[in-house]
A and B are shown apart, each in its own frame.
Chain A
Amino acid sequence: MGVGFATLLEKEVLRFWKVSFQTLLAPLVSTLLYLVVFAQVLGQRDSIYPGISYAAFLVPGLVMMAMLQNAFANSSSSLVQSKVTGNLVFVLLTPLSEGEFFGAYVLAAMVRGIMVGSVVLIAAWLFFSLSVFSGVWILVFCLLSTFMAGALGVLAGVWAEKFDQMAAWQNFLILPLTFLSGAFYSLHSLPPLWHLISRFNPFFYAIDGFRYGFIGASDVSPWSSLVIVGSTCLALSWTTLALLRSGWRLRP
């Protein structure tokens, strides 16, 4: 991967950086609002894991939620915007391969997701006492999960031809996935049906594994979460690359 890949990555990072009020500050504020409200309202309840405060449980979940949403939003909205305005041709006319194209969009999405996540985390640290159980698990889930959401965003962006189609992905896939991901609660507190549904949600494993890195406790083993999130990444990459190679939607 050479100069072409690096340039597309740079362009994608510049794109959100130039409108950071919208792409970094807005999600930061909304996540912090969630944090304040939920920690206030639910903070008095019994803790979910013994000896762990609700805030310590909630913060990693919200940080991961913000990372997932922003990584997805970055690649998907950039692609749809470029398609609608037509300037995607500037990229399509170049010798960039499908792999470079996919990689640059995903990596830029990861950068945005991680930037939002880090700032949320630092801000939360000012208000709540948080601990770190294992930096390695935190890092692994941070990277894999933002990759997963960024790749899903590329897939959605390649598919969608208009902004309202992208809004449908947001409302009917991303939103339910994040709210059924156990960011605010433990899956064990859910009724059996919802528990079962959540078990098929890769975002749940992203959050559960990430949170394990902070509190050392989780609903499922972090190894299982690692396998599931990792396989989702592979499946999304394989599918998206195959579609890109076939020219689907981008080179009709």
Chain B
Amino acid sequence: MGDSATSLPAIKIRGAEKYFGALHALRGVDITVEQGEFFALLGPNGAGKTTLISMLAGLTRADRGVLEVMGHAVDRDYRQARRALGVVPQELVFDPFFTVREALRLQSGYFGLRHNDDWIDEILSNLQLTDKADTNMRALSGGMKRRVLIAQALVHRPPVVVLDEPTAGVDVELRQTLWKFVRRLNGEGHTILLTTHYLEEAEALCRRVAVLRQGQVVACDTMAGLLQARQASTLEEAFVALLREV
């Protein structure tokens, strides 16, 4: 309380727990991401990264805990929370009925935006999709579909952008254009939360990291702090050491 609007965290997660039947997938996760941060959420397969992101996005419900996006509780205040959040899902999903531009127009419409073509064109050009705008989603390659997923997450200019393994299966060139674009968004004040298994990417881009393992945060530090504490020279070294010690 008493926080001014600008010091509100972009993402606040307190005591988040999730069960899938008998599986305790998240065991009391606390993470705070400040506005304007470029934050890495790392962890081995099955650690709970996607589950945590799904809870933030309202795609799955927390069994316990508080989750807020820009100060809006994701359950009670879901409209504002979802307006503030853009999510690039891990799974390569698409709607085969539409072209790229149709998909982006529809996505804008769901967020209440009717005349969004200037911004859509800008996103398309930044993701090098302009010449694919009128191509049906079905006819795109996997990497192209991934770009459209990223574009869809950005149509409503969300202050907080969550990228769940955005570079899986993406060629070198797009990775570079993608990171340039995401860096620019970050520079313009967007908060970025990134999960990836390419640790060099996380190391190059992110200033702070949280590491999840079996549903628990086992480290949450600055990139430099994480490396220092384990006398590691790369994030990969630190990561391996960290997963050994716990």
Contact = CB atoms under 8 A, between A and B. Distances in A.
Interface of A: 2-4, 6-8, 10-11, 14-15, 18-19, 82, 85-87, 89-97, 247, 251-252
Given A93-B57, A93-B59, A94-B82, A8 B95 contact: no
Interface of B: 57-61, 78-80, 82-83, 85, 87, 89, 91, 93-98, 102-103, 106-114, 152
B79 A7 contact: no
B97 A15 contact: yes
Given A89-B89, A97-B79, A251 B60 contact: yes
Contact of A85 (B96, B111, B152): B96
Given A7-B106, A97-B79, A251-B61, A87 B94 contact: yes
A97 B83 CA distance: 12
Given A18-B97, A92-B58, A86 B110 contact: no
8 contacts: A7-B109, A8-B110, A11-B106, A90-B106, A90-B107, A94-B82, A95-B83, A95-B112
Contacts of A14: 97-98, 102
Nearest to B156: A94
A251 B95 CA distance: 19
B109 A92 contact: no
B106 A87 contact: no
A7 B109 CA distance: 5
A40 B93 CA distance: 49
Given A93-B57, A93-B82, A251-B60, A3 B95 contact: no
Contacts of A15: 97
Given A14-B97, A95-B83, A97-B79, A89 B59 contact: yes
A85 B110 contact: no
Contact of A92 (B59, B61, B80): B59
A87 B112 contact: no
Nearest to A94: B110
A132 B110 CA distance: 41
A2 B83 CA distance: 15
B61 to A, nearest CB: 5
Contacts of B103: 90
